[in-house]
Structure 1
């Protein structure tokens, strides 16, 4: 009787262990699984980007629920793979994913915040799935640039979805998704051609937000692209990960470093 009662707990424990290995492991099987999950995630994000245009097409609702099923399975699996589920639930990325899942399960009720679904790209970036291939190939120095690009792309399509949802069709200058994208890009770069503007006080405030946040993200991307090159070599004492290629001591704690020379391999 005791053995029978313990079987569900043992099964759950084995399932959590298997999922933790698949999501966080470095074996060939785990890396293949992570790559497959990454491809599915990128396909879902592509769906989120084009969803505003496809919303009125036949069968869209079924596709929406299919994506919700995939996302629900992924969120559940990540929860089981977490060593501390309560701590995992408190993370901002987890809360964002749950919010995205809610908008998928009730697309009509939460139509006004559907543009936030593209934030899935940001949560994917924060999970580390996007950067593991770079780390595996010794290209960690491109991770900061990649994160800056992801933040910028996420911002562009989130704002484009917002503008498309709330302003297209209500103003003669905005006729479709491309117009919303065009307005977002021209505003965030402060080009300001003036051929497309958002009406009213709300439109002006939205434009100000786009300009301020957009130029900040562009500057962040420029810094990531043009700042002096650093090598990825965690300090054994304080954990600082990036140092100058010719650094002898860690600039944070002074610990002696032993950075491998690229000419002699790593």
Structure 2
């Protein structure tokens, strides 16, 4: 019996049919659904590029047109994802959904919420964890690089979020490209603890910001180094103790000795 029928025994119509169609597009594996998911991912990448460049473009006459166009696309995407969800309330409670709604608000009111607009770059973090992004890479054997790519993405996301924060709150008088480059330069020198000292943030809050950037930057660099140089592990939760990381050729869980059945990536 077909699950996609209404209580009356007829195929779904109207809103139900639209929701079913959106579910197939966003979560399906058919060629058409995969092409749609790739198209949405390409749009996400363009949106992230705009977010990174927005401090430089903010004074351009075309900025508001681009901003509102992206807001319209994002609004349609959020509405479609909500309809495609089987439980809208649970979907709304997810961190990625909350982040997208906040980003939409900053796009709809760019002049009022510009101070927090730098948080839009966090969409890059959600993109790096998308199944649409990783599914084809895992099929081609790039699954072991997932942790490295996610660590690099965390570092880049942190870099541009902090750069936007510093530009907004400490370099607002140096508007445009020069001020943004100064904020980026200070962020990189602080994260790497190079500390040339030619650009400093004034006041107690400036010093606190510098300390946070240095500590978080060093932590992210260490995390990236661990992901690159430590022995490769596969993610396969043990049914008995829940340990998730194992050697690729492990037969038994090293924590509890439970027999594992790790699938061969080549299968």
**TM-score category of the 2 structures, normalised to the smaller one:** 0.7 to 0.9
**What's the CA shift for 1:10?**
3.2
Question: Which residue does 2:123 correspond to in 1?
Answer: 120
Contact 1:141/1:232, CA 8 A, preserved across alignment: no
- TM-score, normalised to structure 2's length? 0.87
Alpha-carbon distance in structure 2 between the residues aligned to 1:120 and 1:260: 32
**1:15-54 matches, cutoff 5 A:** 15-54=18-57
Query: In terms of mean alpha carbon deviation, does 100-109 or 156-165 score higher?
Result: 156-165
**What's the CA shift for 1:238?**
6.8
Gaps (5+ residues) in structure 2? Answer: 1-5
The counterpart of 1:100, out of the listed 87, 99, 103, is: 103
Alpha-carbon distance in structure 2 between the residues aligned to 1:184 and 1:127: 27
Alpha-carbon distance in structure 2 between the residues aligned to 1:236 and 1:27: 31
| SS of the residue 1:120 aligns to | helix
Question: Which residue does 1:72 correspond to in 2?
Answer: 75
The answer as to 2:92 corresponding to 1:81 is no
Alpha-carbon distance in structure 2 between the residues aligned to 1:139 and 1:63: 35
| SS of the residue 2:132 aligns to | coil
1:29–1:18 CA distance, 2 compared to 1 (3 A): same
Alpha-carbon distance in structure 1 between the residues aligned to 2:192 and 2:131: 29
- TM-score, normalised to structure 1's length? 0.87
Deviations 1:85-109 (A, max 9, x none): 1001011111111000000000011
Query: In terms of mean alpha carbon deviation, does 229-238 or 246-255 score higher?
Result: 229-238
**What's the CA shift for 1:142?**
1.2
RMSD over aligned Cα, in angstroms? 2.5
Alpha-carbon distance in structure 2 between the residues aligned to 1:169 and 1:72: 29
Alpha-carbon distance in structure 2 between the residues aligned to 1:215 and 1:233: 29
**What's the CA shift for 1:130?**
2.6
Contact 1:134/1:142, CA 8 A, preserved across alignment: no
The answer as to 2:8 corresponding to 1:14 is no
| SS of the residue 2:117 aligns to | helix
| SS of the residue 2:72 aligns to | helix
Count of aligned positions: 257
1:159–1:196 CA distance, 2 compared to 1 (3 A): same
Question: Which residue does 1:224 correspond to in 2?
Answer: 227
Deviations 1:211-247 (A, max 9, x none): 1111111111111111101245565777765421231
Contact 1:125/1:147, CA 8 A, preserved across alignment: yes
Alpha-carbon distance in structure 1 between the residues aligned to 2:128 and 2:99: 13
Contact 1:234/1:242, CA 8 A, preserved across alignment: yes
Gaps (5+ residues) in structure 1? Answer: none
The counterpart of 1:208, out of the listed 208, 211, 215, is: 211
Alpha-carbon distance in structure 2 between the residues aligned to 1:237 and 1:11: 46
